[in-house]
Structure 1
Amino acid sequence: MPAPTHIFTPPFNIVRASHVVLDVTDLGRSRAFYEDTIGLHVEDADKDAVYLRAVEERQHHSLVLRRADGPSCRRLGFRVGTQDDLDKAAQHFRELGLPADFVEQPYQGRTLQVSDPEGLPLEFVASMVRREILLQKYEHYRGVRPQRFDHVNIFAPDVQASLDFYAGLGFRLTEYAEEDGPNGRIAAGWMHRKGNVHDIAFTNGRGPRLHHFCYWTPTALDIIHLCDVMATTGHLANMERGPGRHGISNAFFLYVRDPDGHRLELYTCDYQTMDPDHEPIRWSLRDPRRQTLWGAPAPKSWFEEGSRFHDLADREAAFTANVLVAS
């Protein structure tokens, strides 16, 4: 199947992936995990929600934890350039016959909530309440020392359709995994707006579901330090995959599961992609270096488990990808 063409004049300007909103069943336990173990900074909290950010971020939050009866993902957030871009986004989605409404959200400026053709619940903001940058306040560096929100990855039942739609919003494909042969289908794709490997990625599977969200860390040593911390503080079972180095993105990584099973990636050492002539890198679906450059395949849970989106039914994938799975 064809890789989507870069569109350099999108209908509105998306700057980057901004935040994610999660439903959790024990707000105190989840807060402790993200604050004390991972090292995010709590900016505000009440009995129903906790708002967290990383040390490089000046916006009020990049992760919202909401008290709920069951775990799910409520929203995926993206930043746009201006208030005018919010209006252009609303017009664009409505012209496509997709739901788009302006709503009030705590600590956020004017917020546009929309659904993509698969039903993914998105929201766009041009501004948030601003807070002091913590980058050089090293007393706040804990856990993996997360610097900034980086990306989300989605289980998509039709990867090609998702890639084509988001290419129409100006997302540019950087890398993709494809079946071999003349009629090979794309089973995963990584797309960016901010100039690194991705802001959003789509992985073939039952969905749509949230596969994972990710924070960027300063060095690989910070990730190794987190492994030591988790292994000695009762969180050994929360480490799902890694540490290791991806073939795709070249990033050093670790995947962990929070108390409700939401998957979080800690990630560093990817590369820049902002040059207009950057062509997508193709990977064979059967290349053992794709998942992990050193050849270690991902566990079965990686391909099967994810967070459902609140009130969104999922469906089976259009095809079964022939991927390498750890025994």
Structure 2
Amino acid sequence: MPIPAPTLYPPFNITRLSHVEYGVTDLAASRAFYVDILGLQVTAENDNRIYLRAMEERGHHCIILRQSDSAGVSCLGFKLYDTPELDKAAAFFEGKGLPVEWIERPFMGKCFRTCDPWGVPLEFYVKMDRLPPIHQQYRLYNGVKPLRIDHFNMFSANVDEAIAFYGEMGFRVTEYTEDDESGRVWAAWMHRKGGVHDVAFTNGTGPRLHHTAFWVPTPLNIIDLLDLMATTGYVANIERGPGRHGISNAFFLYVRDPDGHRIEIYCSDYQTCDADLEPIKWSLTDPQRQTLWGAPAPRSWFEEGSLFDGAEIRDSDLKAQPIIAP
């Protein structure tokens, strides 16, 4: 199917992705992973929740870790441009017959919770508590030296439908993978903030969260993280990489937290600010789409993901398969 034209004047204005809330089964183990290994900074914590930010972020948090009986994802958060956009966004979702609930969230201003048509829990806001800058406090840089949250990638049972819905909200396609036999889109990368993506969709059983990604300064930080994980008991948490993606051109590493939530460490993609930038098309059978150097991803990368709270999953009817590592 052809990629739809971008919606240049959407019904409300999303600035960027903002935060994710993970349910974790051992808060102390998750704290050790995200703080001591990855290097995120604690901004608040209690017996039930830990709030984290990366080094360049002024907002209070980009990850919330919540003690839970089971691992899952409570919400994906997005920041809107200014206060009037909140009511516009709420009206958009109500017009689609989707639930809108105005909620109170610590460290955040007016905020509402909703979901997309497949049950992915979404959260929209304008104001979050601002914290003093720490990007020049180099004594605080630890682990992989994460600078900022970069994107979410989701498994979708119908990527073409996901592109249409998120495109209506103003997300623009930068790159996509097409199944040559059916002509359908197998995966797509969509942005608001001017990078390759804020959200991406991968064909598979969904909706599930495939991964959350963090931008780091250089590929050498990724090498340092591998050495750290390999010598501190986390070697089994290294899932894929390091490598360079064909799609996005980014240098990457995929790791798993203690509950199996997948985190991508990411740098070196390109700028996409022009509204008329044409999407780049890839064939599903091109071995360089996954990794520019040709190495295929492991089967777990295509089959395992984090469940969204309250969402019912279904299998995709597009059975096309990319190249999978033996």
TM-score, length basis structure 2: 0.99
Matched with 1:186 is 185
Where in structure 2 are the equivalents of 1:1-327 lying within 5 Å?
A: 1-181=1-181, 183-327=182-326
CA positional deviation for 1:70: 0.4
Distance 2:318 2:195 in 1: 29
The number of equivalent residue pairs is: 326
Alignment TM-score, normalising by the size of structure 1: 0.99
Cα distance between partner residues in 1 of 2:321 and 2:4: 22
- CA displacement 1:157-214 (0-9 Å, x = unmatched): 0110000000000000000000125x41100000000000000000000010000001
Contact 2:119–2:310 (8 Å) recurs in 1 = no
Letter in 1 for 2:221: D
CA distance in 1, matches of 2:270, 2:107: 32
Query: Deviation per CA, 1:99-155, whole angstroms, max 9, x where unpaired?
Result: 112100111111111111111100011010110111000011000000001100000
* Displacement of 1:318: 2.2
CA contact (8 A) 2:22 2:73 kept: yes
Task: Tell me how far apart the structure 2 counterparts of residues 162 and 246 of structure 1 sit (CA, whole Å).
Answer: 22
Query: Matched residue of 1:165: which SS?
Result: helix
Contact 2:118 2:311 survives alignment (8 Å):
no
SS of match in other structure, 1:102: strand
> How many Å separate the matches in 2 of 1:199 and 1:311?
23
* Distance in 2 between residues matched to 1:74 and 1:67, nearest whole Å: 12
- AA in 1 matched with 2:201: F
Q: Shift in Å at residue 234 of structure 1?
A: 0.7
What CA distance in whole angstroms lies between the structure 2 residues aligned with 1:60 and 1:108? Answer: 8
Output the CA distance in 1 between the equivalents of 2:225 and 2:160. Answer: 36
Cα deviation per residue 1:45-91 (whole Å; 9 max; x = unaligned)?
Answer: 00000000001000000000000000000000011001111110001
Question: Is the Cα contact below 8 Å between 2:103 and 2:111 reproduced in 1?
Answer: yes
User: What displacement does 1:321 show?
Assistant: 2.1
RMSD: 0.7
Q: Percent identity?
A: 56
Task: Provide the rounded CA distance (Å) in 1 between the counterparts of 2:28 and 2:54.
Answer: 19
